Structure 1
Amino acid sequence: MIRVLLADDEALIRAGIRFVLETAGDIEIVAEADDGARAVELARTHLVDVALLDIRMPGVDGLAAAAEMRRVAPRTHVVMLTTFGEEDYVTRALRCGAAGFLLKDTPPDDLIRAVQVAAAGEPILSPRVTRQLIERHVNRDLSQVDEARRRVSALTDRERDVLSLLHEGSSNAEIAKELLISEGTAKAHVSRILSALGCTNRVQAAILAHDAGVLPPGSHS
C-alpha cells in the first residue's frame, strides 16, 4: 500500500481527495493536516510515501513544509496540490524538493496515477512540461552553474548519459530503451546518480543537469 499524507486547510477539499484516492485500492490515507507544520510532523512520524501539500496554508505554507520534509523525512515524495497555476509556484516547489505539481481540478484518474508515479520516485510532470519548466523558468547564475558542473563531474560517462535523459523527462523504461540496457539497470543508475548529486528526486537532478549543461548521450568530449 502507498501511504499518503493530505495537507490542506479546507476539510472539504481533503475529504474529496481522500474519497478519490481510496478508490484506487493500493493507496491508504494515513494522516491529514490543516497546516504545514503539522504536515511535517506527521510525515516524519507516519513514514509517509507521498505527501500531497496545498501551497497556501496558514502558518507554515506548503513550500516551506516541502523544504522541511526534505530534511526530516527524505523518503517522502512531495506533490504540491493547489488551485493556483502560476509558474513561479511550480519553480519554487521543485526547488524545495517537490516531486511534482498538480492543480486541484486534476481529473480523479490522473490524481491517482500521479500518486502512484510519485511513490515510485518519478516526477509527475509530463516530459514536455518538465523540459519547459527547467529551460524557461529556472533562473541560473554563475555560482549555480559552477556548483552544478562540479557535482556532475563526479559521474561516469554512462551516468551522465542517464542524467541527460532524466533532463529530457525520460522514464526508467525509456532510459533503458535508449541506452540498450535493462530497466533494472536504468533504475540502479538513477539511484546512484541521485545519491552522488545529493538530489532527492529526478526533477531536482534534471534541474542540476540543465544548470551544468549536460550533453546528450554520446556527445561527451
Structure 2
Amino acid sequence: MESIKILIADDHVMIANALSSMLNNSAICEVVSVAHSVDDLLEQAKTQKVDVFIVDLGFKGTVGDVGIIDVLRKVKPEAKIIICSMRSNLHTIKACYKLGALAFVNKDSNPDDLIKAVEMAGKGERYFIPSVLAQVGEAWMDDPLEGLSEREKKVFMLFVEGASMEEVIEEIGISKQSINNLINERIKPVVGTSRSGFKEAARKMGLIEYID
C-alpha cells in the first residue's frame, strides 16, 4: 500500500513534532510537511503534494474556532481534513464535520485512533473515533440553535468565540446594521439574551466548556 502523504498544521512546535514522529512510525503514513502558522499552511498547501491535512484549531489569523477549515478550503477545495485538537465541546466537533472535516481527533486520544482516521480520510471517508462517536451519538441531530439559519448560527458563535463586530462583518460579508438586525430579530429570541450575554448562553447550552 502506498503511504498516505500528510501535512500537519499546529502552532505548537513540540506537539507537531510529536505527531510527526508518531505518524512516521506507522506503515501507512508519511509526513511530508509541518506548518506552524496559517500563512505557512496555505503556502505549503499550494506547493506540496498532500493526501491528508491534520490541522489544529484556533490559529491566529482565523475568525472563530473552526475558521481554519474555511481558510484552507479556499486554497484547496478538495482538501481531506482531519482536525486534531484539545477542544472537545460538542458544538465545535459538529461544526468541524459540517464544514467538511472527515474526522475529529482529540489530542489525548489513542494514537491508533489518529492512524485509523488518516486511513479513512485517505479514502475520502468520514470517520468518528470511538470517544467522539460516544459524544455525538444521539446528540448528533440535536441542535440547541434550531430555528436559526446557518448564517445566523455563525454570527452567534463568532461573537461567543470573541470576534469583534468588525471581524464578524468581514467574515459574514454584511453590514453592521444587518448584523444588529439579525441579533435583535432572529438570534436574541432563540438564545434569550442580547449580545452581551451570548457567551453565558452558549455555556448553558453546552456549546462551550467554560467562560474566560
TM-score normalised by the shorter chain: which range applies?
A: 0.5 to 0.7
Write out per-residue CA displacement over residues 90-120 of structure 1, whole angstroms, 9 at most, x where no aligned residue: 1221232211211001111121111111111
Which letter does structure 2 place at the counterpart of 1:66? I
Counterpart residue number, 1:134: 140
Note if contact 1:7-1:52 (Cα within 8 Å) is conserved in structure 2: yes
Cα gap change, 1:141/1:54 in structure 2, threshold over 3 Å: closer, same or farther?
Answer: same
Are 1:3 and 2:9 matched, yes or no? no
Q: Distance in 2 between matches of 1:83 and 1:128?
A: 17
Cα gap change, 1:87/1:21 in structure 2, threshold over 3 Å: closer, same or farther?
Answer: same
Q: CA deviation at 1:14?
A: 0.7
Q: CA deviation at 1:28?
A: 1.1
Q: From 2, 18, 21, give the equivalent of 2:20.
A: 18
* TM-score, with structure 2 as normaliser: 0.59
Q: Which runs of 5+ in 2 are unaligned?
A: 151-212
Are 1:96 and 2:109 matched, yes or no? no
Counterpart residue number, 2:89: 86
Q: CA deviation at 1:128?
A: 6.2
Q: Distance in 2 between matches of 1:2 and 1:133?
A: 32
Note if contact 1:99-1:123 (Cα within 8 Å) is conserved in structure 2: yes
Which letter does structure 2 place at the counterpart of 1:59? G
Are 1:67 and 2:67 matched, yes or no? no
Q: How does 1:72-221 map to 2 (within 5 A)?
A: 72-125=75-128, 132-137=138-143, 139-141=145-147
Task: Say which SS state the counterpart of residue 102 (structure 1) adopts.
Answer: strand
Q: CA deviation at 1:143?
A: 6.2
* TM-score, with structure 1 as normaliser: 0.57
Write out per-residue CA displacement over residues 33-54 of structure 1, whole angstroms, 9 at most, x where no aligned residue: 1123322332232132111111
Q: Distance in 2 between matches of 1:139 and 1:100?
A: 23
Percent identical = 26
Q: CA deviation at 1:75?
A: 2.8
Q: Distance in 1 between matches of 2:25 and 2:110?
A: 14
